[in-house]
């Protein structure tokens, strides 16, 4: 049983500048210089915990290389590739005005994507049984012609297309637990019946007007995009129920050969951008269900790609819990933050209602 683990120090070097958390510093708008939410700390500290807890000794280190133009063009337009290539020397924005990056950041984005592609292939090849890719920048908001929401490249979408091209893998399920809607992945695979895209997210958080239950895929892909917008304030109980009622049944119907997880941690109870209440316990429960599903359905093949998550001190513990689950660690490292007892961690009726609405759509998921 081997779990691949991807990390590279250069992921810490992606530069998002002196923002006021989200917005460019601007004295005229009252925005004093500070740091960007999407800075290196949450992921740097997550990696540090993986090392210092000793978990690293249970993992197989994977070494990244830069994704090629050809790989990027599997999903992205030449226009977007050109934009990033040109701005790599000066820094710039990836397209939506909210995705700043610095000198050399596109090299780093390539190193993240290339690392993910190879992680997926390592699982497809059975070099490792499953894998966790811890990197920056994230990917699930990027669309073919533009970066978006801190994402420069559509990491998971490209990796899925790449592995389907190189390996005998057809049916892929992408489970997105980032607190924001996985709009980029949805867009790329909108008409593709062979990729089931599932997104659990906070109702209408980001992007605007995106992530509704009614977005179900188009053409041959109808039914194979499934959004489950959850009410703000949803905790471990609500997420577990959503997994049990919607995600797992959908996966069982679809029978993927590979499960990809958009592993955002901005649904944690300490995240400044999300309003959810997941704890390390909740993330562990979700991961356990997904690993079990992979055992049952995809011969254990599951790859997690790190997405958002901005709680510098807490992302490490949540990430650690997921990686421990992949690696089937028996005695997990203790989460010193005690947020399991927050009020309303258990499933609430209004959350149940939202989940039930999505549950009805599961029947349209087919084994393609």
Nearer to a copy of itself, 249 or 332 (CB): 332
d(CA 111, CA 64): 6
Place of tokens 């300490």: 270
Beta-carbon count within 10 A of 92 CB: 19
d(CA 56, CA 47): 9
- Indicate which of a copy of itself, Zn ion, none lies near residue 97 (CB less than 5 to 8 Å, by partner kind): none
d(CA 295, CA 114): 26
Task: With residue 263 as reference, give the H or E element that holds it.
Answer: strand 258-263
**Shortest distance, position 119 Cβ to a copy of itself, whole Å:** 19
Choose the binding region for a copy of itself from 30-38, 189-197, 285-293, 359-367 (rule: CB under 8 A): 30-38
Let me know: does 187 contact 144? Beta carbons within 8 Å.
yes
d(CA 352, CA 344): 13
- Indicate which of Zn ion, a copy of itself, none lies near residue 73 (CB less than 5 to 8 Å, by partner kind): none
d(CA 248, CA 290): 8
Nearer to a copy of itself, 172 or 205 (CB): 205
Under the binding rule (CB under 5 A), the answer on residue 266 touching Zn ion is yes
Q: Which of 36, 141, 181, 306 is catalytic?
A: 141
Whether 141 is catalytic is yes
**Shortest distance, position 195 Cβ to a copy of itself, whole Å:** 26
Nearer to Zn ion, 184 or 193 (CB): 184
Nearer to Zn ion, 182 or 235 (CB): 182
Binding a copy of itself (rule: CB under 8 A), the pick from 154, 205, 262, 362 is 205
Phi, psi (deg, nearest 5) at residue 217 = 95, 160
Interface map 297-316 toward a copy of itself (x if CB under 8 A): --------------xxxx-x
Nearer to Zn ion, 90 or 209 (CB): 209
d(CA 246, CA 199): 10
Instruction: List the one residue out of 129, 130, 144, 125 whose CA is nearest residue 76.
Output: 144
**Shortest distance, position 345 Cβ to Zn ion, whole Å:** 19
Binding a copy of itself (rule: CB under 8 A), the pick from 208, 214, 219, 330 is 208
- Indicate which of Zn ion, a copy of itself, none lies near residue 266 (CB less than 5 to 8 Å, by partner kind): Zn ion
Place of tokens 């497809």: 124
The footprint of a copy of itself on residues 32-71 (CB under 8 A) is 32-34, 40-41, 45, 47-49, 51-53
338: left (phi over 0), alpha (psi -120 to 50) or beta: beta
Instruction: List the one residue out of 319, 269, 334, 230 whose CA is nearest residue 46.
Output: 319
Under the binding rule (CB under 8 A), the answer on residue 77 touching a copy of itself is no
d(CA 3, CA 127): 9
Let me know: does 224 contact 365? Beta carbons within 8 Å.
yes
The footprint of a copy of itself on residues 323-342 (CB under 8 A) is 333-334, 336-337, 341-342
Binding Zn ion (rule: CB under 5 A), the pick from 308, 318, 327, 345 is 308
Total interface residues for a copy of itself by CB under 8 A: 77
**Residues that are catalytic:** 141
Which residues form the interface with Zn ion (CB under 5 A)?
Answer: 178, 180, 264, 266, 308
């Amino acid at each position: 049983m081997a779990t691949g683990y991807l990390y590279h120090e250069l992921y810490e070097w992606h530069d998002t500048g002196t923002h006021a958390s989200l917005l460019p510093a601007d004295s005229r708008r009252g925005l004093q210089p500070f740091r960007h939410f999407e800075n290196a700390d949450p992921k740097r500290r997550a990696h540090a915990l993986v090392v210092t807890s000793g978990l690293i000794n249970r993992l197989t280190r994977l070494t990244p290389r830069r994704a090629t133009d050809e790989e990027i063009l599997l999903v992205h337009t030449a226009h977007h590739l050109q934009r990033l290539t040109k701005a790599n020397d000066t820094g710039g924005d990836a397209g939506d005005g909210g995705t700043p990056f610095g000198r050399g950041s596109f090299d780093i984005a390539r190193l993240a994507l290339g690392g993910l592609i190879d992680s997926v292939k390592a699982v497809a090849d059975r070099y490792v049984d499953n894998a966790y890719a811890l990197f920056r920048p994230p990917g699930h908001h990027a669309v073919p012609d533009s970066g978006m929401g801190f994402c420069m490249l559509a990491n998971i979408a490209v990796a899925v297309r790449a592995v389907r091209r190189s390996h005998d893998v057809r049916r892929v399920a992408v489970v997105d637990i980032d607190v924001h809607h996985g709009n980029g992945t949805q867009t790329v695979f909108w008409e593709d019946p062979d990729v089931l895209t599932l997104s659990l997210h906070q109702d209408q958080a980001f992007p605007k007007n995106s992530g509704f239950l009614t977005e179900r895929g188009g053409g041959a892909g109808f039914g194979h995009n499934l959004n489950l917008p959850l009410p703000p304030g949803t905790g471990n109980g609500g997420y577990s129920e959503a997994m049990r009622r919607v995600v797992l049944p959908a996966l069982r119907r679809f029978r993927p050969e590979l499960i990809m997880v958009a592993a955002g941690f901005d649904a944690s109870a300490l995240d400044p951008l999300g309003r959810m209440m997941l704890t390390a316990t909740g993330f562990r429960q979700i991961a356990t269900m997904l690993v079990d599903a992979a055992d049952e359905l995809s011969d254990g093949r599951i790859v997690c790609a790190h997405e958002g998550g901005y709680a510098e001190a807490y992302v490490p513990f949540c990430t650690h819990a997921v990686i421990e689950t992949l690696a089937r660690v028996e005695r997990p490292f203790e989460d010193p933050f005690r947020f399991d007892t927050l009020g309303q961690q258990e499933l609430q009726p209004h959350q149940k209602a939202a989940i039930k609405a999505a549950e009805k759509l599961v029947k349209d998921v087919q084994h393609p």
